[in-house]
């Protein structure tokens, strides 16, 4: 039989079905192998679903953190304005406030501005770090110097040079403080009694 040169069709090849069981393989062995394969695929599916869920949770947490802490850099810049308002108020002697009506009015205006700024900061989760008279806490305070003060327990913040702030549950800026030395020692974990 000669092949027609105008017919491009190739002769048919014998193709075996890919997953036909071998003639000598028992049906029970084949069923066990298929069940093991199904179990492996189910396990892989469960791992993949768990990984997708973990990625989803991580992305949600990152999005929430971005929303909560997005104003952090802006807040750090604004804190210098709050510092300057406080310095302006501290620079005015009490006697000048009472004796000069213009100075008194200006001081009241600056106090109102500072109070409004602090309220606005708190609205965005930014709060003042308590420092003066508290026990030194390296998580919230930055010790700039030690001061000899036998009337205060050792490790007590006796002067705040720059106020510190937190944003939600994170430290935005530590309070720069002076810490007492020379006073009575306070065991770790106890609060400082500043009522005396």
Per-residue pLDDT of the chain (196 residues), as tens digits, is: 455 555 555 554 554 444 555 555 688 888 889 999 999 999 999 999 999 999 999 999 888 888 788 888 888 999 999 999 999 999 999 888 888 899 999 999 999 999 999 999 999 899 999 999 999 999 999 999 999 888 888 899 999 999 999 998 899 999 999 999 876 676 555 655 544 4
Burial of 80 (0-12, 13-18, 19+ CB in 10 A): exposed
Q: Is position 145 within any domain?
A: yes
Q: Is position 35 within any domain?
A: no
**CA–CA separation, 68 and 57 (whole Å):** 16
**Total structural domains within the chain:** 1
pTM of the complete model beyond 0.85: no
In this structure, the chain runs to a length of 196
Distances (CA, A) of 135 to 147, 160, 173: 14, 12, 18
Q: Is position 163 within any domain?
A: yes
Q: Is position 143 within any domain?
A: yes
Q: Is position 165 within any domain?
A: yes
Q: Is position 181 within any domain?
A: yes
- Specify whether the CB–CB gap between 79 and 173 falls below 8 A: yes
Q: Is position 136 within any domain?
A: yes
Domain range for 165 is: 126-186
For residue 182, give the CATH number of its domain. Answer: 2.30.22.10
């Amino acid at each position: 039989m000669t092949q027609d040169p105008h017919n491009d069709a190739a002769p048919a090849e014998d193709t075996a079905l890919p997953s036909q069981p071998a003639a000598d393989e028992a049906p029970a062995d084949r069923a066990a192998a298929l069940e093991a394969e199904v179990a492996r695929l189910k396990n892989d599916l469960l791992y993949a679903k768990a990984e997708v869920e973990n990625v989803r949770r991580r992305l949600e947490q990152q999005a929430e953190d971005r929303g909560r802490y997005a104003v952090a850099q802006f807040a750090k810049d604004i804190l210098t304005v709050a510092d300057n308002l406080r310095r302006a108020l501290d620079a005015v002697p009490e006697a000048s406030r009472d004796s000069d009506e213009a100075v008194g009015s200006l001081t009241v205006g600056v106090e109102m501005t500072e109070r409004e700024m602090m309220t606005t900061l708190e609205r965005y989760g930014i709060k003042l770090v308590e420092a003066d008279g508290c026990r030194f806490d390296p998580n919230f305070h930055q010790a700039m110097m030690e001061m000899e003060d036998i009337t205060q327990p050792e490790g007590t913040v006796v002067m705040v040079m720059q106020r510190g702030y937190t944003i939600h549950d994170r430290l935005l800026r530590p309070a720069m403080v002076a810490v007492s030395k020379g006073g009575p020692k306070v065991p770790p974990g106890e609060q400082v009694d500043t009522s005396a």
